[in-house]
């Protein structure tokens, strides 16, 4: 089976892990500091604060921005549930703005409708989904106009760029995940980035039980610290990230070329000014054929994933908080159509050709079932480049 994800652990990771084990400095240590500095530098931010995972990084980023009980935070409903959960951790209220189905990211027009209607929105938590930057020109313009704090959930977008600037460096704070299947990983892990020295100082307290530089406890804190072991893996992985991103982009290029004329699927659109790092290569197929398509390729040895088959507010826990079906129609529609194909850096040429061959062969299957539904080609790629 060609799996949708394949974490890479090389010689360098093993060498650094052995060094850390031999040193017996297993909790905080020199690799944590090295990793924080090198990842912040790579992403174009001044400060990096390593943390146990992407979720704790999001929680810390929201606390840094002063989000507290009763505050309103606008976000996308089409993301991993941790995005919205982190808002609930602060006892704040998630308000969902619909997405642009072309990019799968929050639609600035929908965001502005909410900002006009809702008074006193404290923060906006955007997500650069699948490795594609949100429309940062439009979002920064709204930030100027409506004066909210901006947090970037960059958990899937290490190295992604908007107009040659890396994501995670635009907002007041940002959060990344180094979960095992991400474009770079530390098993479990995360980091918060910021350009604000005061935020950096506060975040260091939040992740360390509230302790300040004088070993007194002046704020409520948690144990959200990354281990030296995990950070050592991160140091080794970061050295290879650009090479891995290039491979993902090259794989996406092969797929785009092969799939662009198939009428049963829609390839991802990439805005002209963005560098998509393809954490996921996500196509859209007709809702009535998605299950069959996934089974067809699985029977021929191709794995896939659905990220996500429901918008966050339609999950039972959120329904019980009072959110109703129909709130964000584009996101609900897209959740029925998306399929992510293997795109990772470990795919061989032979894997890529096999995947292309199998997917092209589905065409015959599709023809036989044409009456059962068509792909919703609402999202034209006009003004986007489908080739990279
Ligand atoms: C968009 C998004 N936000 C948040 C998270 C949470 O990160 P973690 O799993 O490291 O806690 C993830 C990870 O899956 C994610 O993809």
| Cβ atoms of 304 and 341 closer than 8 Å | yes
DSSP alpha helix (H) spans, 129-170: 136-146
DSSP string for 225-277 = PPPHHHHHHHHHHHHHHHHHHHHHHHHHHHHHHHHTT-TTEEPPPEETTEE--
* 58 CA: nearest ligand 1 atom: 4
208: tokens are 């360390």
**Ligand 1 lined by 13 (C-beta under 6 Å):** no
For residue range 145-165, list pLDDT tens digits in order: 999 999 999 999 999 999 999
> Which numbered atom of ligand 1 lies nearest the CA of 79?
1
Instruction: Name the phi and psi angles at 67, rounded to 5.
Output: -70, 130
Closest Cα to atom 12, ligand 1: which residue? 155
Check pocket membership of 338 for ligand 1, CB cut-off 6 A: no
pLDDT less than 70: residues of the chain: 366-388
The reply to whether ligand 1 has any atom less than 6 angstroms from the CB of 155 is yes
Specify whether the backbone of 223 is left (phi greater than 0), alpha (psi in -120 to 50) or beta: beta
Q: Are 199 and 216 in contact (CB under 8 A)?
A: no
Mean pLDDT rounded to a whole number for the chain: 95
pLDDT in tens, 24-66: 999 999 999 999 999 999 999 999 999 999 999 999 999 999 9
* 259 vs 13: CA distance, rounded Å: 36
Answer whether 265 contacts ligand 1 (Cβ < 6 A): no
The confidence score (pLDDT) of residue 363 equals 82
CA 91 to chain centre: 23
């Amino acid at each position: 089976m060609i799996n949708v994800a394949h974490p890479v652990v090389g010689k360098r990771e093993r060498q650094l892990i052995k060094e850390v084990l031999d040193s017996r400095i297993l909790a905080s240590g020199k690799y944590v500091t090295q990793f924080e500095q090198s990842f912040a530098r790579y992403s174009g931010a001044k400060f990096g604060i390593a943390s146990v995972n992407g979720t704790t990084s999001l929680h810390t980023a929201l606390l840094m921005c002063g989000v507290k009980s009763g505050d309103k935070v606008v976000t996308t409903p089409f993301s991993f549930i941790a995005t919205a959960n982190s808002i609930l951790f602060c006892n704040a209220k998630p308000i969902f703005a619909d997405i642009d189905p072309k990019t799968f990211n929050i639609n600035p027009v929908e965001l502005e409708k909410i900002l006009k209607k809702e008074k006193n929105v404290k923060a906006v938590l955007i997500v650069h989904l699948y490795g594609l930057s949100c429309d940062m020109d439009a979002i920064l313009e709204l930030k100027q106009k409506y004066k909210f704090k901006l947090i970037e959930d960059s958990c899937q977008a290490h190295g992604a760029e908007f107009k040659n600037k890396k994501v995670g460096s635009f907002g007041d704070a940002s959060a990344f995940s180094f979960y095992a299947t991400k474009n770079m990983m530390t098993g479990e892990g995360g980091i918060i980035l910021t350009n604000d020295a005061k935020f950096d100082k506060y975040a260091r307290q939040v992740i360390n039980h509230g302790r300040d530089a004088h070993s007194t406890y002046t704020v409520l804190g948690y144990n959200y610290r990354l281990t030296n072991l995990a950070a050592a893996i991160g140091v080794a992985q970061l050295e290879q990230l650009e090479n891995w991103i290039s491979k993902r982009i090259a794989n996406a290029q092969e797929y785009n070329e092969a799939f662009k004329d198939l009428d049963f699927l829609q390839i991802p659109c990439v805005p002209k000014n963005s560098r998509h790092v393809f954490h996921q290569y996500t196509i859209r197929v007709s809702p009535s054929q998605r299950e069959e398509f996934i089974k067809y390729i699985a029977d021929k040895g191709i794995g896939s994933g659905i990220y996500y088959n429901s918008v966050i507010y339609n999950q039972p826990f959120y329904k019980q908080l009072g959110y109703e079906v129909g709130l964000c129609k584009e996101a609900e529609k897209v959740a029925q159509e998306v399929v992510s194909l293997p795109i990772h850096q470990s795919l061989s040429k032979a894997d890529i050709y096999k995947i292309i061959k199998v997917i092209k062969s589905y065409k015959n299957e599709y023809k036989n079932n044409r009456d059962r539904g068509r792909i919703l080609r609402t999202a034209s790629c006009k003004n986007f480049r489908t080739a990279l």
